[in-house]
């Protein structure tokens, strides 16, 4: 968090050193992007407290990109905000570990099947309780598509994030 505080101070001070108005915007963008990236690394390491900083940083970057008329940057940062929300969802639920645990549960007898079903229902409840995080991620992905930026690698990443959200939505809709 100390690094984020330092970077935030730089965001506020650095534009003073830039010469033109556009230079100041680019400096604001670069520093804000660095804050968001640093917070995302913390989030990827399991620090969910960094999620808000990452998400906010990426959303502020979209506004700055709009000022610069850079649809590519705007689109990527909407996607990055969505990705940070997806990571928050996964970290909050310990998604990977729990899913792996469920997959490795036995189904040889009735007791094992009952235990597995109970674990899946628990996961469904947790996912349902945190669904709003993915609703916001989906909105960010819709905004990413609305930018009109259509480079194939970008669209592939956005689609991948959408597929995860759709998978969770289908999982929640299952009547177990």
Q: What is the pLDDT of residue 175?
A: 77
Judge whether 140 and 61 are in contact, CB under 8 Å: no
Quickly state the pLDDT bin for 19 (edges 50, 70, 90): confident
CA 27 → CA 7, 12, 30, 56, 68, distances in Å? Answer: 12, 10, 5, 17, 12
Q: Which two tokens stand for residue 77?
A: 């940062």
- Please give the Cα distance from 116 to 102 (Å, whole number): 6
Per-residue tokens: 78: 């909407």
**Mean pLDDT over the full length of the chain:** 91
Average pLDDT over residues 156-174: 97
Backbone angles phi, psi at 70, to 5 degrees: -115, 90
Rounded mean pLDDT, 134-143: 98
The size of the chain, in residues, is 176
Q: What is the pLDDT of residues 59-117, one digit of tens each?
A: 999 999 999 999 999 999 999 999 999 999 999 999 989 989 999 998 899 999 999 99
**Closest CA relative to residue 92, chosen from 147, 40, 129:** 129
Residues 6+ apart with CB under 8 A from 92: 48, 130, 133
Instruction: Locate 60 and state its tokens.
Output: 């502020």
- CA pair distance 41, 3, nearest whole angstrom: 12
Residue 127 is predicted with a pLDDT of 96
């Amino acid at each position: 968090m100390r690094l984020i505080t330092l970077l935030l101070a730089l965001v506020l001070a650095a534009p003073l050193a830039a010469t033109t108005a556009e230079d100041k915007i680019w400096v604001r963008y670069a520093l804000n992007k660095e804050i968001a990236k640093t917070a995302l690394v913390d989030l990827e390491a399991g620090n969910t407290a960094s999620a808000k900083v990452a998400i906010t940083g990426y959303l502020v970057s979209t506004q700055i990109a709009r000022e610069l008329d850079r649809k590519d940057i705007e689109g990527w940062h909407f996607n990055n905000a969505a990705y940070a929300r997806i990571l928050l969802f996964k970290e909050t639920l310990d998604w990977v570990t729990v899913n792996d645990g469920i997959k490795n549960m036995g189904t040889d007898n009735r007791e094992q099947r009952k235990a597995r079903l109970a674990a899946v229902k628990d996961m469904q409840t947790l996912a349902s309780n945190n669904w709003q995080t993915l609703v916001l991620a989906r909105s960010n992905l819709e905004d990413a598509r609305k930018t009109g930026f259509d480079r194939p690698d970008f669209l592939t990443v956005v689609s991948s994030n959408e597929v995860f959200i759709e998978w969770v939505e289908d999982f929640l809709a299952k009547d177990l």
